[in-house]
Amino acid sequence: MQKPADNQASFQMQRALIQAQRHLSEDLNPQELPGRILEQLAFVIPYERGALMLQDGPILRITAQRGFPVDERIDNLVMPARPGDIYEEMSKTVSPELIDDVTTDARWMQVDWLPLNRSWLGVPLFAKNRVVGMVSLTRVEAGAFSQADVLMATAFAMQAAVALENATLYQEITLFNQRLEQTVLERTEALRRALDTLERMDRNKSDFINVAAHELRTPLTVMKGYIGMMKMDAAVKASPSLAQTLTGIEKGTDRLHDVVNNMLDLARIDNQVLDFKPEHVSVVSLVRRVQLDYSHYLADRKLTLQVDGLDSLPPVYGDPALLLKVFQSVVINAIKYTPDGGIIKIYGRPIQDAQAGSCVEVCIQDNGIGIDEVQLELIFEKLYTTNQVALHSSGKATFKGGGPGLGLTIARGIIQAHRGRVWAESPGHDETIFPGSTFHILLPI
């Protein structure tokens, strides 16, 4: 039966153990933690000399020490981990080792320049399912450690091993986060440089388009003037072959003039300098104008253009010339990708939009070849075309003829200038069943 004094001593040791464990759990610095372990252990079990040793291959190295004499040789002090020695047996049994008198134990190797402490207690540090080191404690007198000391040291070592493992994991996570942050910074900088390059290239492209359009416009104007003069010449009027040739030249010139005007419109959109003159505009009048302008294309291709439900739409507030270009671009796109004999429908309705408020939605629907899902956004990009270059045609309404990739880009730019939206929907691309496409144009009232 324990005496009250023994009970009080046991209580004080347990209290000291709990406090030491709490202090260890707060320290996550793997460089400072070994010294902190020995410091806290001294409050639980007093000792003359202590060392925390971690296994490094076939040897144990001192990671922290307390109570050793001041001597530079301590930094090189190691203990072999070989079969038959104390640490090897401790690793097998995962149990503490207590030597009451080291002078009587053949396994003990005394370092000649260290003062002799006769009592020794070694406690294994168990982590990651193996012994990774030990805590070594000594006292001067023989038989100075009790079984209570062994139990307290073992409990403390278990917590110390957990603290060491947590500190190591924390350091690994910290280093990983630092490397990750550095990688993110490097990637972000690389992306920023790439974005700057792309923006510069895009500006250069826009500048080139602008300059090229202006350079082409002057000679085209001269050519159109001379063509008009030649058509009035008596010799041309008297020669059907010359008149037909001149008509072909005029058509080609008009087509080139349209392309140049589109290039200029694109440059204005890129530079946000559209000549914007808003007024109340009737949507049905714009669509009827497009229907009239493209009637010969529709007749040549045997296409039917149906207009439904536009008469009742309220007027929108916008630039009539610019909005006309929008409907021209979208309708000519439908004509290009609808096979001969197909149907194009234009219908609309007033709706409420969460962003733009009261709006008019106009839909241009065709039963053409359709659009792949991945291209539903790309078709509005500058100079993008779904056709192969080999299929490109200068014919404005030729089936799958392609074009310079400007029309839908200009349409989106104009619609966005009106605070509206334009997008395309399609079940997909198929030139056998012709699933068709629908373009939605949303314009604020």
- Do 278 and 172 reside in the same domain of the chain? no
Q: What is the pLDDT of residue 174?
A: 84
User: In one letter, which amino acid is 283?
Assistant: V
Which residue segment(s) compose the domain that 324 sits in?
A: 274-444
In a domain, 27, yes or no: yes
Say if 418 falls within a structural domain.
yes
Exposure string (b/e) for 294-331, b if CB count within 10 Å is 16 or more?
A: beebbeebebebebeebeebeebebbbebbbbbbbbbb
**Helices in 278-363 by DSSP H: which ranges?**
283-293, 295-300, 320-336
Q: Give the helix ranges, DSSP H, for 27-113.
A: 33-44, 86-93
Q: What contacts 88, CB < 8 A, 6 or more positions away?
A: 81, 82
Q: Are 155 and 184 in contact (CB under 8 A)?
A: no
Residue that terminates a domain, selected from 148, 176, 204: 176
Report if residue 252 sits inside a domain. Answer: no
Q: Does residue 228 sit within a domain?
A: no
Of 176, 196, 226, the residue at which a domain comes to its end is 176
Q: Which helix (H) or strand (E) holds 365?
A: strand 357-366
Residues 172 and 280 in one domain: no
- Looking at residue 58, which CATH number applies to its domain? 3.30.450.40
Environment class of 261 (CB within 10 Å of its CB; exposed 0-12, middle 13-18, buried 19+): middle
- CB 286, CB 327: distance < 8 Å: yes
Output the tens digit of pLDDT for each of the chain's 445 residues.
445 545 555 555 556 555 655 656 555 677 888 888 888 888 888 999 999 988 888 888 888 899 999 888 888 888 877 777 888 888 888 899 999 999 999 888 888 889 999 999 999 988 878 888 899 999 999 999 999 899 888 888 888 888 888 888 888 888 888 899 999 999 999 999 998 888 888 777 777 777 777 777 788 888 888 888 888 888 888 888 888 888 888 888 887 877 777 777 777 777 777 778 889 999 999 999 999 999 999 999 999 999 998 999 999 999 999 999 999 999 999 999 999 999 999 999 999 988 888 999 999 999 999 999 999 999 888 777 766 555 555 567 788 876 677 889 999 999 999 999 999 999 999 999 999 999 999 999 8
Task: Give the residues across from 359 on adjacent strands.
Answer: 351, 444
Kindly report whether the global pTM for this prediction surpasses the value 0.75.
no
Q: What is the pLDDT of residue 22?
A: 61
Q: For residues 72 and 114, what is the distance between their CA atoms, to the nearest angstrom?
A: 12
Length of the chain: 445
Q: Are residues 158 and 23 in the same domain?
A: yes
160 plus 290 within the same structural domain: no
What CATH number has the domain bearing residue 412?
3.30.565.10
What's the domain count of the chain? 2
**pLDDT for residue 3:** 53
Residue 231 inside a domain? The answer is: no
| 156 and 302 share one domain | no
Domain end position, chosen among 130, 148, 176: 176
Residue 258 lies in a domain: no
- Per-residue model confidence (pLDDT) at position 250: 84
In terms of domains, do 288 and 144 share one?
A: no
Residue type, 313: L
Which tokens go with 14?
């347990």
Query: Is residue 384 included in any domain, yes or no?
Result: yes
Which residues are bridge partners to 317 per DSSP? 280
- Domain assignment present for 257: no
